[in-house]
Structures are given as structure tokens and as C-alpha cells.
Amino acid sequence: MNHDSYSGRLVSRLFLGGLLLLLLSDVCWAADANIVAFDVSPAFEGQNLVALDVTATLRADASGTTTFLLPDQDRGVSDLWKFVKDIKVDGAQSIIEDGPAKRIVKSAAGAALKLHYRIVSAFDHDPRERELDPYKPVLRPGWFWIFGEALFVYPDIAGASAQFHWNAPRGYPFASNLEHALGRPMAMNDLIQSVLVGGPDMRLFTRQIGDASLRVAMIGQYSFTDDDFVSWTSRIVEGERKFWGGHEGPFLVTLAASAGVPRGTNASGDGRGDAFAIETTPNIATRHLESLLAHEYFHTWNPARLGGMAQGAQEPSSYWFSEGFTDFYKRRLLLRMGVYSLADFVTDWNLALTEYAGSPVRLAPNSEIVTRPWDGNDMHDLPYLRGSIMAARWDHELRRKSRGRRGLDDVMLAMRADAARFGDKSPIAPELFVEMAKRFGLDVHADVENVIEQGKPALLPDNAFGPCITIATKPVPKFDPGFDLVATSRNGGTVVGLEPDGPAERAGMKEGMHIAIEGAPGNDSQKPLAYTYLKADGSEGRIVFKPEGREMTTLQQLVLAPNLSAEQRAQCSKSVAG
Ligand SMILES: [Zn+2]
């Protein structure tokens, strides 16, 4: 499951967990398998939704002791059990609390049990910007939003599967990816990794794309219309399905906005297997959402259907492929679909190249991404940046060697075919890529070793994107604001980590001074930073400086040939997007 967040800037800043998942697990159900049948229904006071009532029927464990697990913690949210009320179990001899998130139920061995409980809201108001958290249940009079992680109490019985039923008055609006398996047993994990939204304040749209439906569920008001959101979501889903070919299952996108006037722009997206859930501030720009959706939907294939990733603690070692190639394709496919103009494509690439050039961890080896994956945004973003640059470089090499007949697209499609053929025996995606590139005539071993593993600079060749786009390469000072921007920001703006004689101090910043921080500079050493602060006499002071460090780095930027006619632009887009 993945969780990519954007916060006040175009370049993604994500907090991602295990990226695996995506497909409904391919499980064989033995005839005597223990199926836990969940039934969820809205509870009202008058017209107003006040809770969700859940029942689950199942057979007790053969030992006569069945452990039930309550919603607990996920992605930094803790104590989700607080929103579970009135647990009862019909058929139980006793129920013992084993900590707040566990119940031990004693009964006759294999007895028929019926579990009842109620889920209440984490909020008594529409959540505001600072409260956005997709894992917390929101039940409001006219709408609700809940993840399976917060909704389901389930028995810890090996091999138990789940069945889901929604039980509401006719016509009560509802959407969940659990409906994709309605009436069929599913793995308990698929039940848990779900999203459910509904209520009269939710708008639901359905589009048929090829042989599978896309549903879009929207809550809240935005700067764009529902129609616009549905139409470009459809375009992105259609464009990526077309790239991969083949048959797809139904997909659900849920979008909910925070209440009130936001101070910044925030959006967080969560992959839910066959759904994607986005919570955002209402002022989110179309461009952010397009980029987020195109990236996330590509994860339907990469890496799960291309061989998967390294397991456990080693997982981040695969991010250069799973995230970097996903970002490369996000840009390429948005251009191919016509969602990005050539200028948008150039802008998106240039932000990424600027962030990479100025990154303080630009030359960190891949092993540091594994051992320190959450060490700030720069370490987090590194595999996205490095991987996408190398994808562009290898695509160029593949085309050059084959005189334009083959490219990275062919390698990716061949990987998908191989991964499907060999299933669990397939090498993981980054290894399969190396193998497959070789079959297509490109040996990337040395690049992977030098650039990805050891951290040597990732650089684009001069003509990486065809004749209309040149790559300008020049030395620039490394990005260095001269104070600890991240810690100061976390501190609420009280300056810490001021570097003696650094750019900030030379401009008049002092340790302990209180400054207003807005937006993120994206590691751009050439763009001046400006901060306001309160002077002793109550007036507002302003500090402006270029965040140029003493060391140098290599900055590459895409430059679009000037004065292209519309026809030439179309031609260029085609040659760049393939
Ligand atoms: Zn991602």
C-alpha cells in the first residue's frame, strides 16, 4: 500500500510505506474455509448519520479461544480503537480485554459467533486543514469517509477470509472498492486495505473505460468542477491502461476536501489496491492532482506486476525503480495523453532536476536510502529523482542503439509479460529490468552499480529528449539556506542551526529569531529566499538572500527550442512522448 503526499509544492514529498499490494490476492478458498461475513450499515438520528454499525458472523477458532483485533495504529495514527464502541459477541462464554486493541473471546470450539460493534466519528465537525488524516474515521451528518483499517474488528484466525455486505436504505449514496468483490470471499488484507465513502453530500460518477468501470466519488468543493475532475481522471486512467494494454478491473477514486480556509496547500493520496483515496485542501491545483493521480495509478503495475520489490527492511533499495520509473512515466504519459503541454513537461522535469542538483544527499549511495529512508525529504525524494533521470538516460540509449526502433516502453512491457509468466519465481522488478534491458541490447550493470548503488551523479545525455529540447548543463553553487530549514519549520519558525557566516547570517538572520516560513524552496540555489520577522519595535522586517552554498554542483535543465510553430510543437511532443 502506498501513501504519497504533496505539501505546498509541485515536487512530491511522500511518506510511503510498503508499496506492495494492488491486486486482490489470488487465494484458493477451501470448501471449509472460515469466512467472516461482515455487514456494515449506517446508523441515523433523524436524517443525520451518527455511526456505522457492524456485525460479523464467523465460526470460533477450533481451540475455543478466538482473538479479535481492533483498529489500532497505522501510518502514524494511533489509538484507532477509541472509535470502536459497544462490542458484543453472541455465542461467547466470556470476553476478556487484552489491552485496548485486543479482545479474547472464549466459546465452544468452532461455535457460531456473531460480533456486533459501532464505529463513531473522530470529529464532531468537518475536519480542517491541520486535521486531515485519511486514517481517522469521519462520520458527518451528510457524509462519511473511512478506511478499512479504522472500520474492521476481525478475528486473528489463520486462513480466515472475509465477505462484505453494505446494508443501507435504498438510494443512500455509497462507494467502496469492497464492492468490487461483493458477494465473493476476499483476503482479510483486502478487506482492511479499503476505502468507504458515502452520504447525500457525496457525488458519485461512473465512466466505462474499455472493459472496466471507473468510479469517482467526490466530497467537498474545489477550484475545479466535478466534471473537470472526472474527465481528466478518466483520461489518466484510460491513458495508462492503454499504455499497458490488457484487461483491467474496476477502479475507484475518492476525493475529499478539508473545511475552512487553508493556510497552505496539502494533499495526501493513499493507494488502496483497486482504489485511490485523496484528502486535500480545497485550493489544490489541478496540476498537483493530475501529477499525483498519474503517479499513483502507474503503481497499479509498477512494481507489483513487474516482479515486485525487495522484501522487508530492504524495500527502499528498490525505490529507484518503483518510484523513479513511475515518475519518469508520469511525465511521459501525461504528455502523451495531452494532459501536459510540452511546456508543462519541461517545467516538471526542471523542478525535479533542480531538486536533484541542489540535494544535500545527491551523492548518497543506495544503501543510505535503505538505512535512513525517513531522514528528511531530501533522502526520501532521492530515489524518485535519480531513478527518473536514469530511466530517461536508458530510454535514450535503447533508442540510439536500435536506431529508434526500441525504447524503454518495450522493456517495460516485456517485463510485465515475463513477471506474469514466472509469477513468484520472477526476479524482483529492479533485477528483472537489468536482465530485460540486456535482452534488448543495453547493458545497464555499470550504471546501476555506479550511479544507483554508489551514488555517482545521474546526468542526462545532451539529446535525451530529441531535437526540440536541449539539455543545458552548468555548474551552480549547491543549495544551502545557511540555517536548518526543516528543524526551524518544525519549530514553528524559531531559527535553529544558523551557520556562522552562511547565506542567512550574512543577510541578517539570527539564531532564535522568529521567521515566517511559507512553501518549500525545492533545493533551488538560484532563487532568492525571503522571510519576514517581527522587529523589536513591532514593525515587520524582511530578510532576502540567495541560498548559495560554497560547494558547487551540476545543474541540468531542459530548454525548449524557441519560436516553434504549433505544428512543430505537436511533432516535438510526439517525438518526446513516444
Ligand atoms: Zn509512488
At residue 126, the pLDDT reads 95
- 329 exposure class (CB count in 10 Å sphere: 0-12, 13-18, 19+): buried
Q: Same structural domain for residues 349 and 420?
A: yes
Q: Which of 200, 235, 270 is the last residue of a domain?
A: 200
Tell me how far the alpha carbon of residue 236 lies from the centroid of ligand 1, in angstroms.
16
Q: Are 429 and 446 in contact (CB under 8 A)?
A: no
Tell me how far the alpha carbon of residue 61 lies from the centroid of ligand 1, in angstroms.
39
Tell me how far the alpha carbon of residue 13 lies from the centroid of ligand 1, in angstroms.
10
Query: 62 — phi, psi (to 5°)?
Result: -60, -20
At residue 375, the pLDDT reads 66
At residue 137, the pLDDT reads 96
* Residue 2 half-sphere exposure toward CB, CA atoms < 13 A: 28
Q: Same structural domain for residues 359 and 450?
A: yes
C-alpha distances out from residue 164 to 40, 120, 152, 187, Å: 8, 19, 11, 11
Give me the numbers of helices (H) and strands (E) for the chain, helices first please.
Answer: 15, 25
At residue 564, the pLDDT reads 87
Tell me the three state secondary structure of residue 420.
helix
Q: Tens digit of pLDDT for each residue in 157-201?
A: 988 999 999 999 999 999 999 998 877 899 999 999 999 999 999
Tell me how far the alpha carbon of residue 491 lies from the centroid of ligand 1, in angstroms.
28
Tell me how far the alpha carbon of residue 200 lies from the centroid of ligand 1, in angstroms.
32
Question: Considering the domain boundaries, does residue 569 fall inside one?
Answer: no
Tell me how far the alpha carbon of residue 542 lies from the centroid of ligand 1, in angstroms.
37
Q: Which of 282, 300, 318 is the last residue of a domain?
A: 300
Tell me how far the alpha carbon of residue 68 lies from the centroid of ligand 1, in angstroms.
33
Question: Considering the domain boundaries, does residue 561 fall inside one?
Answer: no
Q: Which segments of the chain have a pLDDT < 70?
A: 1-33, 74-76, 373-375
Q: Same structural domain for residues 438 and 313?
A: yes
Tell me how far the alpha carbon of residue 323 lies from the centroid of ligand 1, in angstroms.
5
Q: List CB contacts of 38: < 8 A, sequence separation 6 or more.
A: 54, 55, 56, 152, 162, 163, 164, 165, 191
Tell me how far the alpha carbon of residue 178 lies from the centroid of ligand 1, in angstroms.
23
CATH number of residue 51's parent domain: 2.60.40.3650
CA atoms of 566 and 563, how far apart (whole Å):
9
CA atoms of 432 and 484, how far apart (whole Å):
40
Q: List CB contacts of 501: < 8 A, sequence separation 6 or more.
A: none
Q: Same structural domain for residues 286 and 351?
A: no
Tell me how far the alpha carbon of residue 187 lies from the centroid of ligand 1, in angstroms.
24
Question: Considering the domain boundaries, does residue 291 fall inside one?
Answer: yes
CATH number of residue 275's parent domain: 1.10.390.10
At residue 265, the pLDDT reads 84
CA atoms of 39 and 57, how far apart (whole Å):
9
According to DSSP, the residues that pair with 154 across neighbouring strands are 69
CA atoms of 433 and 454, how far apart (whole Å):
18
Question: Considering the domain boundaries, does residue 95 fall inside one?
Answer: yes
Tell me how far the alpha carbon of residue 574 lies from the centroid of ligand 1, in angstroms.
26
Tell me how far the alpha carbon of residue 188 lies from the centroid of ligand 1, in angstroms.
24
Tell me how far the alpha carbon of residue 113 lies from the centroid of ligand 1, in angstroms.
41
CA atoms of 63 and 65, how far apart (whole Å):
5
Q: Same structural domain for residues 31 and 165?
A: yes
| Nearest 10 degrees: Cα torsion 73, 74, 75, 76 | -10
Tell me how far the alpha carbon of residue 2 lies from the centroid of ligand 1, in angstroms.
7
Tell me how far the alpha carbon of residue 384 lies from the centroid of ligand 1, in angstroms.
8
According to DSSP, the residues that pair with 118 across neighbouring strands are 53, 85
Tell me how far the alpha carbon of residue 285 lies from the centroid of ligand 1, in angstroms.
19
Per the structure, how many domains does the chain have? Answer: 4
Question: Considering the domain boundaries, does residue 552 fall inside one?
Answer: no
Tell me how far the alpha carbon of residue 326 lies from the centroid of ligand 1, in angstroms.
7
Q: Same structural domain for residues 423 and 524?
A: no
Tell me how far the alpha carbon of residue 316 lies from the centroid of ligand 1, in angstroms.
12
Q: Give the pairing type, strands 65-69 and 154-155.
A: antiparallel
Tell me how far the alpha carbon of residue 295 lies from the centroid of ligand 1, in angstroms.
6
Please name the residue that has the C-alpha cell 545497464: 444
Tell me how far the alpha carbon of residue 564 lies from the centroid of ligand 1, in angstroms.
34
Which candidate, 51, 58, 57, 84, places its Cα nearest to that of 70? Answer: 84
At residue 75, the pLDDT reads 65
Q: Same structural domain for residues 207 and 340?
A: no
Which candidate, 164, 241, 468, 520, places its Cα nearest to that of 341? Answer: 468
* 513 DSSP 8-state letter: -
Question: Considering the domain boundaries, does residue 526 fall inside one?
Answer: yes
Tell me how far the alpha carbon of residue 537 lies from the centroid of ligand 1, in angstroms.
48
At residue 328, the pLDDT reads 98
CA atoms of 112 and 164, how far apart (whole Å):
18
Tell me how far the alpha carbon of residue 226 lies from the centroid of ligand 1, in angstroms.
25
- pTM for this entry: 0.85
At residue 374, the pLDDT reads 65
By residue range, what is the domain housing residue 86? 1-200
Q: Tens digit of pLDDT for each residue in 203-234?
A: 999 999 988 999 999 999 999 999 999 999 99
Q: Which of 169, 200, 231 is the last residue of a domain?
A: 200
Q: Same structural domain for residues 219 and 172?
A: no
Tell me how far the alpha carbon of residue 69 lies from the centroid of ligand 1, in angstroms.
29
Q: Look at the alpha carbons of 298, 300, 304, 306 in this order and tell me if their dihedral is positive or negative.
A: negative
Q: Same structural domain for residues 440 and 372?
A: yes
At residue 487, the pLDDT reads 87
Q: Are 42 and 172 in contact (CB under 8 A)?
A: yes
